[in-house]
Structure 1
Amino acid sequence: MAAARLAAALLLLAAQVACEYGMLHVVSEKGGPQSKDYCILYNPQWARLPHDLAKVSFLQLRDLRSAQLCSHFDLPADGFSNQIPLVARGNCTFYEKVRLAQGSGARGLLVVSKEKLVPPGGNKTQYEEISIPVALLSHRDSQDIFRRFGLVVRVALYAPGEPVLDYNMVIIFIMAVGTVALGGYWAGSRDVKKYMKHKRDDGPEKQEDEAVDVTPVMICVFVVMCCLMLVLLYYFYDRLVYVIIGIFCLASSTGLYSCLAPCVRRLPFCRCRVPDNSLPYFHKRPQARMLLLALFCIGITVVWGIFRNEDQWAWVLQDTLGIAFCLYMLKTIRLPTFKACTLLLLVLFIYDVFFVFITPFLTKSGNSIMVEVATGPSNSSTHEKLPMVLKVPRLNTSPLSLCDRPFSLLGFGDILVPGLLVAYCHRFDIQVQSSRVYFVACTIAYGLGLLVTFMALVLMQRGQPALLYLVPCTLLTSCAVALWRRELGAFWMGSGFAKDGPQSPWTPAEGPQPPKDSGAPLPQQPPCEELAKSPLPAEETDAGIVDPAQDPASPVGSIPEPTDRDQAQPGPVAQPGTSA
């Protein structure tokens, strides 16, 4: 059964019909300046369309949408001399329609489709017999033509050239690489600051949120949930799309607040707090400026939610909220080991390739589930789009931008998944004091992988699984740097910042030794009663990791001279990668 299904899928792939996008240029019969282009889908094997509109003859459009042109009874008495008939789709093949139209003097044939546009196919013998172009026009566009121009119009069919590379890819590249670099740097710096500086839990600089360490079990559960959600969206898109939009609004407003909060806290004004109260959250007496920031973030999200389908400018708000969301996730989610990074990236690599390249053989329409969900099904009644992408409108002036997607898209997963590896590399850099060589190399590898993705998109002219190129580039580069520095073992097992983790293998276990030339023996440790009466300063009693500047194991550190207190209260000093 499986072999038969695979054979059928291969036959389906081999039988795919060549198709190209073209334009239907409509002008008023009265010769006025009013004109408009509409997208059509045609098969160049019937007849090719010219590329230059100036070299195309304008012909009268004959409205026969009430007929399907499947028999001689559908032909008008005067025929189609130098006309292009517009007929309904159904009840017969494209060859039967175009043969009747060509025999009656038509110079082309337009078929109105209420369903998704499919290429008008035939066989080699039929292609050789027909010499006029055949194209499909959407039902909505056909209604707009006669509503805007009236029943008597002149049209021209042509297929303009399209630039190989659109400039909007440059904007997406800058946003994606900038988000990965900034998010990885911020996540690594925040994690190092948390575990390597002396800060009391009840101090004013207390961290407001905790990073979440990802385990293999969490990775498996996450991937299974992604698969289920993608399949559900494919079959129940119109019902679930609003759930995804609501989740995005909540998560993006939280991410925007998290990104702007450190900047607002540095402002020297508006530090007054809410009066004492018993309300939830407000009983902590937050600062007024933080409340204003929260209202601002919610307002931005609400504005996007209301005007999300405004193609002219709403994409700017969506990209801003999306970048804030990605930065927040990179700061919150942490991969503790390179082993976990490898597992996550490889599993999602398989996930991405399967849902882009394999699922077209498993669906009735022959479309990729991933691309169909990301761009929105063509038969969706809501016409809503998933917001979990960075989108930039096409910047070229080709009319074909109306046919193909008017936006270039990059999913959040193509930023977050490699970005987690970049953040791990930054944490490891600071641990081994490698001048951020891992972080810089992995970020450059991500940029190169993204360029390869764009090249594959241009060459194949179809949606690409970006992780197919990003995962090998980032993983292999990180491994190569670790091998070059002879730190692959330490890099594989983790940077040593996780709580209650084992001591890093490159960190000495013994504490600092007293100077040999001091000549004075260490006095006995005082009883516990005396220690309780004279507590140590905060720097000595705070359980945590010592500052690298005070750590004798650090290459840049220096051994401090023993003081009276040091000699009176000797004890082990915690090393980087261990817990007190």
Structure 2
Amino acid sequence: MGFLWSLLWAALLINQAVGEYGMAHFSELGKSKGKDYCIFFNSKWAHLPQDLNKASRLQTYDLTASVLCSASDVPKGGFPNRIAMVLRGNCTFYEKVRLAQINGAKGLLIVSKERLIPPFGNKTQYEEIDIPVALLSYSDLLDITKSFGEKRQVAMYAPSEPVVDYNMVIIFLMAVGTVAVGGYWAGSRDIKKRYMKHKRDDGVEKQDEETVDVTPIMIAVFVVMCCSMLVLLYLFYDHLVYMIIVIFCLASSVGLYSCLWPFVRRVPFGKCRIPENNLPYCHKRPQVRMLLLSALCVAVSITWGVFRNEDQWAWVLQDALGIAFCIYMLKTIRLPTFKACTLLLVVLFIYDVFFVFITPYFTKSGESIMVEVAAGPSGSSTHEKLPMVLKVPRLNFSPLSLCDRPFSLLGFGDILVPGLLVAYCHRFDILMQSSRIYFLACTVGYGVGLLITFVALALMEMGQPALLYLVPCTLLTSLTVALWRRELPLFWTGSGFVPPPIVMAPINCTQTPGPPTAETIVNPEPQISDTSSQCEEPAQSAPENVPHLAEDAACKSD
């Protein structure tokens, strides 16, 4: 139980974030033709022009032998009307840029041997500085020195990217597809378990994971956990980020196994069970194909964990593992009533809005806690990113393609929270025989809410709390369908899942039971409950190891 909740709160910590990449165009002094290099800047120090032709071309002052942390590092005469280039380290970004500005510099390029991060400060420092400051990689500095020598000039600019990128289509299809498949599978699986409740089954079906019914108390505890963990990550990011990465590896491997097992189970190979042993998790003699599938899932998860920072291809593995994780959670966590759905979605709606839009008024940097944690704090020494997101690199052609590939992100929480409502709608559809109208309407509402999120992202050019748009679209759509069908009382309380008992006629034990009727589908339990007193005592059940012995015999005969 606790493991499931830890997975879910980890998924809800993420929202979208946008980095600030720019270009530094170097050329020989007095010439316009040159070469672009990637820089990472913070527009709160000073904005960069979007067009290279509007950027000032200034001569550089190479002080990369120094870190520019004290007045003694400033050369005689300062940096009059030049762009200073210094090494990163030993002091804050503010101390460097302040020394550069008061000594006449028109900009500052900080050369970093580590991964590029936006140069950060606080609100007061941002107001004091009016020259641009950016980070340049050390490998690019070596190429610049080789290509242009000592007398060179630079123009810094930040080309705008298209508002809409094709990767949004990919994220939309992945998110809506995950919600639809997970909600449909969760609803169908829940109904199947109800049908099989009184049937003895020693096969592999009994090995499926159990569902967890969410209660109001669990929702309250869960939200407190989310808030506490988000604040702790904001304060101790470098210490806790690896814990989240480990949780994701474990959770995604379990989710991948859960999604692939129904297909592997249909493969007519590997049914043999391992010999009797006392090994943990193996004393029940699992099938060979189960162990092979487990090994494959763990291997995929470990591969991602080792190569998680390979931007060229690791995002594909992360998205595949993330989708499997979300489907697994949708199958496992169950909201029993629309009342519980509304409570969970509204509380998390408030949580999302608060940590994106309200927390900037309480932080020293003026950044929201949600965006800081999602993007990775600027002062982080690990430069690790939280993995609980779907991520797709930008697909449009841009000069910024020289930089680390910028990604569009969608947090798992923006899939899981509405997805739990979609799963509830599907279960209600099946039990009320309503032709899946609730399921389809809620899924369409989710898609519309996601489109609105993308539009808001494009218009505001900042990370958006997706639940701000997804929660109203899904809740109001489901509520409208319930009102239109005049089923709101049943839909709100989940009464459709527990109809009044049905009076049954005496059963003739010699007759073969016919196919289930509509009444037995709604409430299958009374069909079975009172027959034991009218029928003969059933024969003694076979020992539990008989199926295993039969499988072993079949394996030997092969």
- Secondary structure of residue in 2 paired with 1:410: strand
Q: Which amino acid aligns with 2:206?
A: Q
Q: Partner of 2:157 in structure 1?
A: 158
Offset of 1:45 from its aligned partner? Answer: 11
Q: One-letter code of the match for 1:101?
A: G
CA gap 1:429/1:91 in 2 versus in 1, 3 angstroms: closer
| Correspondence for 2:378 | 378
Q: CA shift at 1:350, angstroms? A: 0.7
Q: Residue by residue, what CA displacement relative to the aligned partner does 1:71-100 show, whole Å, maximum 9, x if unpaired?
A: 99957569757x544468656986x95586
TM-score norm. by structure 1 comes to 0.75
What is the match of residue 149 of structure 1?
144
Rounded Cα–Cα distance in structure 2 between residues aligned with 1:369 and 1:45: 20
Q: Percent identity between the aligned chains? A: 58
1:496 CA drift (Å): 4.6
Q: Which amino acid aligns with 1:183?
A: G
The answer to whether the 8 Å contact 2:69/2:95 transfers is no
Q: SS state of the match for residue 293, structure 1?
A: helix
1:551 maps onto 2:519 in alignment: yes
Cα deviations by residue, 1:99-129 (Å, 9 ceiling, x for unpaired): 8638xxxxx4335498852599999x999xx
Which residue does 1:109 correspond to in 2?
A: 107
SS of the aligned residue for 2:269 comes to coil
| CA distance in 2 between partners of 1:221 and 1:44 (Å) | 38
From the superposition, tell whether residues 64 and 317 of structure 1 become closer, same or farther in structure 2 (CA, over 3 Å): same
CA contact (8 A) 2:37 2:140 kept: no
Q: How is 1:8-407 mapped onto 2 (pairs within 5 angstroms)?
A: 22-27=22-27, 35-39=35-39, 41=41, 49=49, 51-52=51-52, 59-64=58-63, 66=66, 80=80, 84-86=83-85, 90=94, 101=104, 108-110=106-108, 112=110, 116-118=118-120, 134-138=131-135, 141=136, 143-150=138-145, 152=150, 153-197=152-196, 200-204=199-203, 206-208=205-207, 209-400=209-400, 406-407=406-407
Q: CA deviation at 1:159?
A: 3.1
Q: Give the equivalent residue in structure 1 for 2:471.
A: 471
- Note the C-alpha offset of 1:464: 0.8
Find the residue that maps to 1:283 and give its secondary structure: coil
Question: Where do 5+ consecutive residues of structure 2 fail to align?
Answer: 1-18, 88-92, 536-558
> Residue 320 of structure 2: SS of its match in structure 1?
helix
* Residue type of the alignment partner of 1:511: V
Q: How far off its partner does 1:427 sit?
A: 0.1
The 1:170–1:282 alpha-carbon spacing in structure 2 relative to 1, beyond 3 Å, is same
Tell me if structure 2 keeps the 8 A contact 1:453–1:466. Answer: yes
Aligned to 1:431: 431
CA contact (8 A) 1:259 1:324 kept: yes
Larger radius of gyration: 1
Judged with a 3 Å threshold, the aligned counterparts in structure 2 of structure 1 residues 24 and 493 are, in CA distance, closer, same or farther, namely same
CA–CA distance in structure 1, aligned partners of residues 109 and 323 of structure 2 = 43
Q: Distance in 2 between matches of 1:239 and 1:52?
A: 41
Report Cα offsets for 1:52-85 as digits up to 9, x if no partner. 46x868654222464969999957569757x544
Aligned amino acid, residue 168 of structure 2: M
Letter in structure 2 aligned against 1:147: L
Q: 1:119-156: per-residue Cα shift (whole Å, max 9, x none)?
A: 99999x999xxxxx931122xx2644433322624422
Instruction: State the shift of 1:28 in Å.
Output: 7.1
Secondary structure in structure 1 of the residue aligned to 2:192: helix
C-alpha distance in 2 between matches for 1:73 and 1:275? 72
> 1:211 deviation in Å?
0.7
Q: Distance in 2 between matches of 1:122 and 1:369?
A: 19
Equivalent position SS for 1:551:
helix
Bigger CA drift: 166-175 or 418-427?
A: 166-175
Q: Deviations over 1:313-333 (max 9, x none)?
A: 111111111111111100000
3-state SS of paired residue (1:134): coil
1:419 is matched by which residue type in structure 2?
Answer: G
Question: How far 1:278 moved relative to its partner?
Answer: 3.4
Q: Distance in 2 between matches of 1:45 and 1:417?
A: 37
| C-alpha displacement of 1:29 | 7.8
Aligned-pair CA distance for 1:207: 3.3
Task: Please give the alpha-carbon distance, in whole angstroms, between the structure 1 residues aligned to 2:221 and 2:57.
Answer: 59
1:470 maps to a residue whose letter is: L
Matches within 5 A, 1:452-471: 452-471=452-471
Count of residue pairs brought into register by the alignment: 495
Q: Distance in 1 between matches of 2:20 and 2:250?
A: 40
Q: What amino acid is aligned across from residue 191 of structure 1 in structure 2? A: D
Q: Structure 1 CA distance, aligned partners of 2:108 and 2:24? A: 10
Shift of 1:266: 0.5
CA separation in 2, counterparts of 1:312 and 1:271?
A: 38
Change (3 A) 1:48 1:311: closer
The alpha-carbon distance between structure 1 residues 163 and 218, as it changes in their structure 2 partners (threshold 3 A), is same
The residue that corresponds to 1:573 in the other structure is none
Shift of 1:395: 1.4
Contact 1:112 1:137 in 2 (8 A): yes
Distance 1:28 1:301 in 2: 48
1:109 is matched by which residue type in structure 2? G
SS state of the match for residue 182, structure 1? helix
State the AA in 2 paired with 1:368: S
